[in-house]
A and B are shown apart, each in its own frame.
Chain A
Amino acid sequence: METILFLSPTESGSPLSKSALEALATTKQLADSLGTTFSVGLWGDAPKADDIASCGADKFYAVTGAEFSQPRYATDAAAAEALCRAAGATIVVGPSGSRWNRIQAGVAHRLGGRADSHVTGLSVSDGSPAIARWYYRQRMEGILTRAQRPWVLAVESGIAPAWQGAPGTAAVEAVACTPPAARSNVTGIEALTADQQTIRPDADLLFVTGAGWTKKQPDGQVKTEEAQKLILAFLGLSRASLGSTKSLVDLSGEGQATLTFLTHMNQVGQTGSTPRHAKGLSTCCHGEEPHTVGWRFIGERRAISLDANCGWARGKADVLYVADAFAVMEKVNDLLAKKAGG
């Protein structure tokens, strides 16, 4: 019989994140499928379990202390290790995110177990848990089981609806954890202002820009400045999240004229991210299968390209508009501006 633990860091004064609630729902579903119960482990400066008191967990554990508020390897790993030991967990499920991903495998090593991350599915096969995850940058999917325990998992956001339920009063068992001497401190966050920020994980739409925006246009001219204006205007009007192909991001590193607001953080695909959004619109992208993994987890997909046989779109997009993206996006912006103006 497996002993299952849902584990998550908490942010000071904030409820559990959406991705944590999704991981909680996944944990509950796994426990139900295995015909067993699960417990919850939280850590932070003041972790509160009352919001999830009715989630069905049979026990709640918490490591509490100001030292555990920082998203920092040494203290996060110590807290997670203590919680796993207190629960005697054989399966540990946490939400993918920078904080859990930073420590998950290290914690598994301390416990003598193994870790798997970027889990996109959890099921039961012959009475044992099985996970799905992708290999070679989302180019092939594997389903696997493991003999080692504890098995420490990081589940991706978007694979289950977030747990919802009535708050209550959770009886939380305090777990002792002596914080290790900290040699590192988190001193702040560097972020663009909300208007400048083009990466919006909660947006419905991912807008992907390709190198075509910076190439010579049909009139023989390069129109990088115009491209920049069109794209920024569209992002402002649509509140879409901006993704970019590697070739376009790399242009800036090579000192070529490019879109100044793009960084490697916008990059999607082989060596970039594979974000999850309901819809995706690609513009001026080109390339074959290896490049298109950037929208592996995008629901509805449309593309604008001058190339009717573009490998980015054919067989990958639902609709391919064979057209000049400059002309189309200008009109799109006009229409969105009219809509916004009422």
Chain B
Amino acid sequence: MPEYQIVVCGSVVPDPLQTLEPVAGPTGPALKNEMMLPAWLDPWAGHALYEAANLAAKNPGSKVWLVALGPKAKLQQSMMTLAQKVPFELIALDGSASGFTDAAETAAALAEAIQAIPGLDRSKLLVFGGWESASRGAGATMQIVGEILGITDQFQGVDGIEADGSLRILERIEGGRHQVSVCDAPPALLGWATGNLPEPRNNPQVGMANMRAIMPALQKAKPAKIGAEGVTFQSVSLPKQARDTKVVKDVPPDQIAAEIVDWITNK
């Protein structure tokens, strides 16, 4: 049975149910009341973490690290929930998780943290992360992390992995299809889409075990200076596209159906 060392990269994002409004900050655009917004681990990074834990559980001797970047207080907030889900060792980086920062700067900080993990064995190394973030949404960070680490077996939009030494990987491609690839062996980098696993239930035992190491890891969080050097934002604005909705009430289904059919068949 192969053993894997799985390093998951992730950042924190505002709860998507919150109202987000851009404001001008001292170094560029920011979100209004950004530090007040509740945060959680980026959804795609979350899928990557759950898939990593699942793979590790199937392959005894494997281990999962989470290299997480964000303001320390936000990381702590998100860990309170996340720690209950699956076992992992946290490596915290205290820096901006804003969507307006540059992927290259984020990637450099993440890669440096990965390279500093003691005892990392490239022949067992799988680097996981979200294929995009819910903040910048660029799909760039993981590619650059891979380049810095010298990993050129990279897969993006991953929805599935079967690992028995070699790796069989499903990547999303156009038209709701999956491309199937086989990679001979680690190291490899996988940017996850949603995968196939439901969100794990909270497990207090896992939570207690994780938190014993998470709090010291948060205290040791290395500062990471993340910005967007060389980028000038001319504007950041909310879409002004409120539509004047015509509300059709008390009309029989036949009449509505006829109107809809006319509309969809009329080019």
Residue ranges of A at the interface with B (Cβ–Cβ < 8 Å): 71-74, 77, 97-99, 101-106, 108-110, 114-118, 125, 130, 134-148, 180, 183-192, 197-201, 204-205, 238, 240, 253-254, 264-267, 270-271, 279, 281, 288-290, 296, 300-302, 304, 308, 313-324, 327-332, 334-336, 339
Contacts and interface: CB of A to CB of B under 8 A. Distances in A.
A137 B263 CA distance: 29
Given A105-B104, A114-B104, 6 more contacts: A139-B20, A190-B178, A191-B177, A270-B16, A335-B261, A336-B265
Contacts of B181: 72, 184-187
B16 A109 contact: no
A328 B184 contact: no
Interface in B209-267: 230-239, 242-251, 253-254, 256-258, 260-261, 263-265, 267
Chain B CB within 10 Å, residue with most, of A114, A130, A316? A114
B198 A253 contact: yes
Contacts of B138: 105, 115-118
Interface stretch (B4-12, B66-74, B145-153): B145-153
B147 to A, nearest CB: 5
A188 B168 CA distance: 11
A200 B156 contact: no
A294 B63 CA distance: 36
Contact of A109 (B104, B174, B176, B231): B104
B119 interface: no
Contacts of A317: 243, 245
B43 interface: yes
Given A199-B176, A271-B194, A332 B260 contact: yes
A331 B144 CA distance: 52
A72 B234 CA distance: 36
B175 A191 contact: yes
A331 B253 contact: yes
Interface SS, A side: mixed
Nearest to B173: A98
Contacts, number: 268
Nearest to A338: B261
A336 to B, nearest CB: 6
B113 to A, nearest CB: 17
A190 B20 contact: no
B242 to A, nearest CB: 4
Contacts of A142: 29, 100, 233, 235-236
Given A191-B178, A317-B243, A117 B139 contact: yes
A114 B102 contact: yes
B245 A102 contact: no
Contact of A101 (B14, B139, B233, B263): B139
A73 B257 contact: no
A190 to B, nearest CB: 4
Contacts of B143: 102-106, 109
A109 B137 CA distance: 18
A102 B182 CA distance: 16
A317 B246 CA distance: 8
Interface of B: 13-14, 16-20, 22, 29, 31, 43-44, 99-100, 102-104, 107, 134-141, 143-144, 146-148, 152-157, 159, 168, 170-185, 188, 193-194, 197-199, 230-239, 242-251, 253-254, 256-258, 260-261, 263-265, 267
A330 B141 CA distance: 46
A135 B264 contact: no
A138 B144 CA distance: 23
Given A109-B104, A302-B260, A321-B251, A73 B238 contact: no
Contacts of A339: 261, 265
B182 A271 contact: no
Contacts of A135: 22, 99-100, 135-137, 236
A266 to B, nearest CB: 8
A199 B178 CA distance: 12
Given A191-B177, A302-B263, A315-B245, A183 B153 contact: yes
Contact of A264 (B29, B193, B237): B193
A271 B43 CA distance: 7
A313 B245 contact: yes
B172 A318 contact: no
A324 B174 CA distance: 33
Contacts of A254: 198
A37 B267 CA distance: 37
A262 B146 CA distance: 32
Contacts of B184: 183-184
A85 to B, nearest CB: 16
A323 B256 contact: yes
B229 to A, nearest CB: 8
Contacts of B13: 136
B230 A320 contact: no
Given A74-B152, A336-B261, A187 B180 contact: yes
A281 B173 CA distance: 25
What are the 8 closest A-B residue pairs judged by CB atoms, nearest first? A199-B176, A331-B257, A105-B140, A147-B230, A264-B194, A106-B143, A327-B253, A191-B177
